[in-house]
Structure 1
């Protein structure tokens, strides 16, 4: 993508809020990558758009040429779905959503409903959606489900980065505790709650500096009045909006960040503080519960003044607690992503192939980056013997070979198997994601014997196997698919293979077993791991679009069904063994931990805090090279004729 880009925002890009700072950073990243980016600042009232705002957005979009790439900040588009729809077909529009407009504090129920439905209508028309946190991704999907207004565009999560700065100094004995609040003065940020909580702090050995523009004049006056009423003028100062240098110095002088928000779509100031080793005292509102790792600060329920007062009292009076939280913040500091990484991810989100949000009736959606992340481990640990035996069987049956790969994704399974199997090869790749299939088809050109391989794609759900290309194959294959399917689907697959006398080669089917290993590669037993595994097993059994999924029981269910059909089955144990001392395994291990935590939270949202603590503790142990991960998988090869014996292998006969 080298064509010019246009970013449309409400007001000026120089505003010192998290959303505008994020936008400005992405403009810098795009320009560093050689892209021409024009920033269009709209006048008018936002997000409750007035006539001037609508005219400004319509004029900005109308001035763009056919098929132009345009990014519109959610604040500028959420209340103007009609304008978006008018231009969506001739422009490539990407919506950049920091958090749903209806989640702003202080809205009436009618206003909230209007914003939700208006924003969902606008998002339904765009080509792409980028959100700044996994929480916001889940929130948008929940709203889309609630209002029956599905998101058609692909949603990409690109979390903010941070600039690592020198650590702030820890307080010395007798020194006043310097608290810092960085947030615009609006009701959602909760500075009124902060003043009320600080009024109850027993110690007077503290000072709080608040930086942020008074975007709601009435609220700013109320906060100042609370300061005056509680006679805290000498202890709490509202400095207003400031430049970057002033804010950087404020962070360096502080001993903790306090953010009492009711709700955040991410909470960039939290990571800004952690980048300096500052502990954070905040709430669990919105994404904040996920943005602040356990052990790096204190979290309270949004709006709970008594709990916030207690947290502030503890921090100001307990030197050991301050030291412990500072150590946690310093450890987190080493794990933060920088803005360069964020810029790269943002550009990837803009350039990935377009495609509607997949129909979950077709099965689970797997992001390309996850499929890429796991490919090396798949190739390393899966069985090489079974593909070789499949090749021998194919050679005895025909002279032109047709393979079908179910749930093909980006073609990893085909690329692994092709060198083992006889040529010429004819592949049919089946998946519900058209964009992934295009990538898979293109990847065939990288194969060594590419001239002997023909690839066609079939974009369809796997809930039926009646499509014509699936009838003529000699070998049906799949990788990392079985845990998503039901007993009914397994019975359907086996009946299909029996009817057409097809062999079946299934790789990397999860067994439902996993664990963390020590530096010697030995499995360790941990009660929290066992608890989380139970949540994951329950989550695996949910319907993924192909009936109630069998999860880790699917492999054995398939073996049983094949043997009932008089197939000869051979299995191989193929676990991932990701080593603690191998830095190349760390990205995959981090991805696994994040994925497990997210699935567990979906299964038990009431346990989100405990799951977050597990995730953070495991992330730290992996980052320090103290823990590896073992994930159980099995491969199988099933042949339809008993008169074609399989040699014994160490894995043994099923």
Structure 2
């Protein structure tokens, strides 16, 4: 039996080193757990061989993710095996960890294989959201990654209920957080450099983070922006990010065909900076006038918290999980399938009085979502698992 007060040895696993929501969640959780005195190590599949692009106070291991010949099913199989092989040859495994915690389907499947071979004691899995995969193999991997762990966690009430209904599992609830000091609205020298680098001189500048892909609702956002341009010809839409495991090329092709048909000039009205470094992201938020995120499916929407911390008025979808922490007094909530509503909402955000009211009303949200609190909730869940399965 582990003494209830002794620090835990925790291994956190993520499928990438690129700045996606669950990856950032992993790194920030690791830092917060480390600051609370626990022994933490992050394991991450690293495709580019460039690491996280940020310093970590805790230990970490980068798992080489080699090129794949074949479709997405082959990709997932290979990535699972790369994690298994790496851990089988990890000299630190001799000391083992108390907790093996996966933040995604890939690393969860790898840990389940190792647990079933009695090489690790148990598996924790955070389900950020459930995907509707077309591939039977991917559906099987996702189902196994949710149904087979010893402990399941969710960051939102919406997905907690969805997992309970679909899998008859009651996940423990944890939360996301945000570093208010990192994303504060205070201007910096780097902000001016970012504006110059990307040509951010629009009036107003609408920012979204997450790249061009279906669940980010990029095409409908683009159509809405085309309507906004008729009222605000100097406006700019900045779509940052884009690192993803899956190939959305057909959707991207349709997006750029719409750009051409709508005669929106890339580099002037539409700015596509791609993946922005971790160090530059706060300055990019500060360079914008409003944050627009009419996503159709999110585990939580970590970027929304970051935008609020940066002092931006926010537009997002009028559906969970956003409505779990935002009201109509704190953000412009719109039907993400309604182009006209998105456009009208964007125009509302550009009104100084509306923007000021939303920013002021949304700031109190931040005190409820800190990584320190998230770490405490995780430790409570970990210790419950350890008591149940010593």
- TM bucket (normalised to shorter chain) is 0.7 to 0.9
Structure 2 SS opposite 1:352: helix
Greater relative contact order, per chain length (Cα 8 Å cut-off, separation 6+): 2
Q: CA deviation at 1:62?
A: 4.4
**Cα distance in 1, alignment partners of residues 72 and 28 from structure 2:** 22
1:139 to 148, 162, 176: 162
Listed as ranges, the matches of 1:495-534 within 5 Å are none
Question: Retained in 1: the 8 A contact 2:104–2:125?
Answer: yes
Contact 2:178 2:306 in 1 (8 A): yes
The question of 1:40 aligning with 2:43 is answered yes
Q: Go from structure 1 to structure 2 and tell me whether the alpha carbon gap of 1:30 and 1:78 turns closer, same or farther (over 3 Å shift).
A: closer
Q: Please, which of 155, 162, 166 is the counterpart of residue 171 of structure 2? A: 155
Output the aligned Cα RMSD. 3.1
Using the alignment, how far apart are the partners of 1:217 and 1:47 within structure 2? 11
1:180 and 2:183 matched: no
The one of 327, 340, 348 aligned to 2:372: 340
* Aligned 8 A contact 2:282 2:310 in 1: no
> Could you say what secondary structure the match of 2:291 adopts?
strand
* Separation in 2, partners of 1:93, 1:54: 15
Give the 3 Å change call, closer, same or farther, for CA 314–90 of structure 1 in structure 2: closer
Corresponding position of 2:219: 192
Q: How far apart, in 1, do the equivalents of 2:87 and 2:226 lie?
A: 50
Structure 1 residue 116: Cα displacement: 5.0
1:129 partnered with 2:152 = yes
**Unaligned regions of 5+ residues in structure 1, if any?**
145-149, 170-174, 357-434, 436-654
Q: Is the 8 A contact 2:205 2:289 kept in 1?
A: yes
Contact 2:102–2:108, Cα closer than 8 Å, also in 1: no
SS in 2 for 1:348: helix
Quick check: 2:100–2:111 contact (8 Å CA) kept in 1? no
Q: 1:326 to 1:72 in 2, by over 3 A?
A: closer
Which residue in the other structure is 1:57 paired with?
83
The equivalent residue for 2:238 is: 209
Q: By how many angstroms is 1:239 displaced?
A: 0.7
User: Is 1:76–2:106 an aligned residue pair?
Assistant: yes
Q: CA deviation at 1:178?
A: 1.7
Q: Which residue is equivalent to 1:239?
A: 273
| Whole-angstrom CA distance in 1 between matches of 2:100 and 2:287 | 40
In structure 2, C-alpha distance between the alignment counterparts of 1:328 and 1:345, rounded to whole Å: 26
Which range is displaced more, 82-91 or 190-199? 82-91
Alpha-carbon distance between aligned partners in 1 of 2:347 and 2:122, rounded to the nearest angstrom: 52
CA distance in 2, matches of 1:286, 1:61: 37
Cross-structure match for 1:26: 29
- CA distance change for structure 1 residues 177 and 251 in 2, over 3 Å: closer, same or farther? same
Whole-angstrom CA distance in 2 between matches of 1:71 and 1:220: 33
Q: CA deviation at 1:79?
A: 6.1
Match of 2:184 in 1: 166
> Contact between 2:178 and 2:371, CA under 8 Å: does it hold in 1?
yes
Larger Rg: 1 or 2? 1
Query: Corresponding residue for 2:357?
Result: 324
Indicate the residue corresponding to 1:272 in structure 2. 306
Q: State the Cα distance separating 1:266 from its structure 2 match.
A: 0.3
SS of structure 1 residue aligned to 2:123: strand
- Cα distance in structure 2, aligned partners of 1:263 and 1:28: 27
CA deviations on 1:467-523 (whole Å, 9 max, x unpaired) are xxxxxxxxxxxxxxxxxxxxxxxxxxxxxxxxxxxxxxxxxxxxxxxxxxxxxxxxx
User: Taking structure 1 as reference, are residues 122 and 250 closer, same or farther at Cα in structure 2, changes over 3 Å only?
Assistant: closer
Q: Aligned residue for 1:305?
A: 339
**Equivalent residue of 1:199, what SS?**
helix
Measure, in 1, the Cα distance between the counterparts of 2:371 and 2:315: 24
SS at structure 2 position matched to 1:16: coil
* 3-state SS in 2 of match to 1:6: strand
Q: Does residue 1:4 correspond to 2:36, yes or no? A: no
**Matched residue of 2:171: which SS?**
strand
User: Following superposition of structure 1 onto structure 2, how do residues 79-94 of structure 1 map, counting pairs within 5 Å?
Assistant: 83=113, 86-87=116-117, 90-94=120-124
Paired with 1:26 and 1:274, the residues of 2 have a C-alpha distance of 20
Cα distance, 1:344–1:213 mapped onto 2, change above 3 Å: same
TM-score normalised by structure 2 residue count: 0.75
| Counterpart for residue 384 of structure 2 | 352
Aligned length: 334
